[in-house]
């Protein structure tokens, strides 16, 4: 009898201990929103290490610092963390498991405030990473973002800006997200980020005046796409190993006064795709870029030129320039570019070729005009046809472009008068 009583006491004590642990865990999971609400404005909240339930909303300008030991788990429902207070700061959190609704834009972090700082966070298994909605002068920096494991087109944007102005997106690393997306979001800065293994590195739609500088775009289907976004600066970026058929490292449509300067485009299907300028102000400028070992360095479509291309380097590309109409490139302003297939001389030693660099359409017309002929591109058969056309053309080949002052050395930059 005494043994039975002892077992009952042990059972009761075990049950009480289990209930205590369950209550403690439940309190930990549900209390973070209460702690956030109770933290005075301007003060710092550092929760105890552990996992907390998501759907947290910050309504005051506080600092939420996870110290690298706090996990916010969205439990695959909705947005994990929402910021609606101007001047709030969120740092050092591990945010996981957002919802999966594209219609609701389920994200790891939603920012609907101005002057917000989001830094040093890790976001994993989230549909959309960080979503700025009508946000002004906020900073998103040094965050690591990966998407939900599903087909690439069914993922969300790693960073998404809608109707947001003058924000700084800096030094973030995005792996396996679908896109980075700016829409109706002028004058934003995207600087020193890494975008890897996605669909589109960054897409601008109706987002003029943005600056994209010093970023790495690696193994994406496309790099930068600018659509109806004027006065965009794209400078000192590196695009590499973007080999999907017809994918472009850089693409421009309907955008005016876009500057491409100092970029490196390496081992891509197409380096730049650009449409013909409809109006004189629709021109783009390419200054000091390097196009190396691409299938096609530049592809111009349309029937007129007018773009500015100075001091660029073209080397090791299968095709330097491809056009849908000969006048799409010949009317561009080509000056001082380096062409590795230039066969002229520099007898006076000024670093500039004595004769212009000229490019004509020969056998390229076959695979440009007929998609099925692309399979034979680079084969001995097509090379033989190309040689025959060059040696004894049946008609004068169309002129694609003429650079009146080709550089002899890719490292030499002369000063133009």
Instruction: Note whether 257 and 284 are within 8 A (CB).
Output: yes
Asked if residue 294 is part of any domain, the answer here is no
Query: Is 19 part of any domain?
Result: yes
How many other CB atoms are there within 10 angstroms of residue 32's CB atom?
22
- SS3 label, residue 84: coil
Q: What are phi and psi of 5, to 5 degrees?
A: -60, -40
Q: b/e for 69-101, b at 16 or more Cβ within 10 A?
A: ebbbbbeebbbbbbbebbbbbbbbbbbbbbbbe
CB 108 within 8 A of CB 132: no
Q: What is the pLDDT of residues 348-359, one digit of tens each?
A: 989 999 999 998
Structure-derived torsion over alpha carbons of residues 264, 269, 272, 273, reported in degrees to the nearest 10: -170
In angstroms, the Cα distances linking 130 to 186, 227, 314 are: 18, 22, 37
Residues 288-319 pLDDT 10s: 999 999 999 999 988 777 899 999 999 999 88
What is the C-alpha to C-alpha distance for residues 224 and 222, in angstroms, rounded to an integer? 7
Pairing of strands 399-403, 357-360: antiparallel
Q: Give the distance, in angstroms, between the CA of residue 195 and the centroid of all CA atoms in the same chain.
A: 6
pLDDT in tens, 36-89: 999 999 999 999 999 999 999 999 999 999 999 999 999 999 999 999 999 999
Mean pLDDT of 110-121: 98
Three state DSSP letters for 242-271: ECCCCCEEEEEECCCCEEEECCEEEEECEE
Mean pLDDT of 160-171: 98
Is 89 contained in some domain?
Answer: yes
CA dihedral 338, 242, 211, 317 (to 10 degrees): 10
* pLDDT of the residue at 25: 46
Residue 184, in any domain of the structure: no
Backbone angles phi, psi at 230, to 5 degrees: -85, 160
Establish if 103 belongs to a structural domain. Answer: yes
Q: How confident is the model at residue 331 (pLDDT cuts 50, 70, 90)?
A: confident
The residue among 87, 140, 146 whose CA lies nearest residue 122 is 146
Give the confidence band of 367 by pLDDT, cuts at 50, 70, 90: low
Mapped to the 3 state alphabet, what secondary structure does 47-80 carry? CCCEEEECCEEECCCCEEEEEEEEEEECCCCCCC
Q: In this prediction, what percent of the chain has a pLDDT beyond 70?
A: 83
Q: How far apart are CA 185 and CA 177, in angstroms?
A: 20
* 84, part of any domain: yes
Give a yes or no: residue 360 inside a domain: no
Is the pLDDT score of 234 beyond 60?
A: yes
- Kindly state whether residue 307 falls inside one of the protein's structural domains: no
Is residue 2 over pLDDT 60? no
12: domain range? 1-140
Q: How many domains in the chain?
A: 1
Q: Identify the CA nearest to 289 among candidates 302, 268, 272.
A: 272
């Amino acid at each position: 009898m005494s043994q039975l009583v002892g077992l009952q006491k042990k059972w009761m004590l075990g049950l009480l201990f289990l209930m205590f642990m369950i209550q403690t865990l439940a309190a930990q999971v549900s209390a973070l929103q209460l702690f956030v609400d109770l933290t005075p404005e301007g003060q710092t909240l550092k929760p105890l290490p552990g996992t907390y339930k998501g759907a947290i909303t910050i309504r005051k300008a506080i600092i939420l610092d996870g110290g690298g030991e706090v996990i916010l788990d969205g439990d695959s429902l909705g947005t994990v963390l929402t910021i609606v207070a101007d001047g709030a700061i969120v740092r050092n959190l591990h945010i996981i498991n957002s919802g999966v609704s594209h219609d609701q834009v389920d994200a790891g972090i939603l920012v609907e405030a101005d002057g917000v700082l989001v830094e040093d966070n890790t976001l994993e298994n989230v549909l959309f990473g960080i979503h700025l909605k009508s946000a002004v002068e906020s900073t998103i920096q040094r965050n690591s973002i990966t998407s939900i494991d599903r087909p690439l087109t069914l993922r969300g944007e790693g960073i998404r800006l809608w109707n947001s102005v003058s924000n700084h997106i800096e030094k973030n690393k995005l792996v396996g997200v679908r896109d980075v997306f700016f829409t109706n979001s002028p004058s934003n800065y995207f600087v020193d980020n890494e975008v890897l293994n996605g669909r589109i590195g960054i897409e601008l739609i109706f987002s003029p005046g943005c600056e994209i500088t010093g970023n790495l775009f690696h193994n994406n289907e496309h790099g930068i796409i600018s659509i109806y976004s004027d006065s965009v600066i794209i400078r000192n970026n590196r695009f590499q190993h973007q080999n999907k058929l017809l994918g472009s490292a850089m693409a421009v449509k309907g955008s005016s006064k876009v500057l491409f300067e100092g970029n490196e485009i390496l081992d891509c299907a197409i380096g730049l795709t650009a449409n013909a300028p409809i109006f004189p102000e629709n021109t783009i400028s390419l200054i000091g870029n390097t196009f190396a070992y691409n299938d096609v360095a530049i592809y111009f479509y349309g029937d007129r030129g007018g773009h500015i291309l100075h001091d660029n380097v073209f080397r090791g590309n299968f095709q330097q320039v491809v056009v849908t109409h000969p006048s799409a490139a010949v009317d561009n302003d080509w000056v001082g570019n380096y062409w590795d297939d230039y066969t002229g001389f520099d007898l006076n030693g000024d670093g500039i070729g004595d004769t212009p660099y000229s490019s004509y359409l020969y056998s390229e017309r076959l695979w440009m005009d007929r998609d099925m002929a692309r399979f034979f591109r680079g084969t001995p058969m097509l090379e033989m046809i190309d040689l025959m056309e060059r040696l004894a053309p049946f008609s004068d080949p169309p002129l694609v472009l003429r650079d009146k002052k080709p550089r002899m050395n890719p490292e030499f930059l002369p000063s133009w008068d």
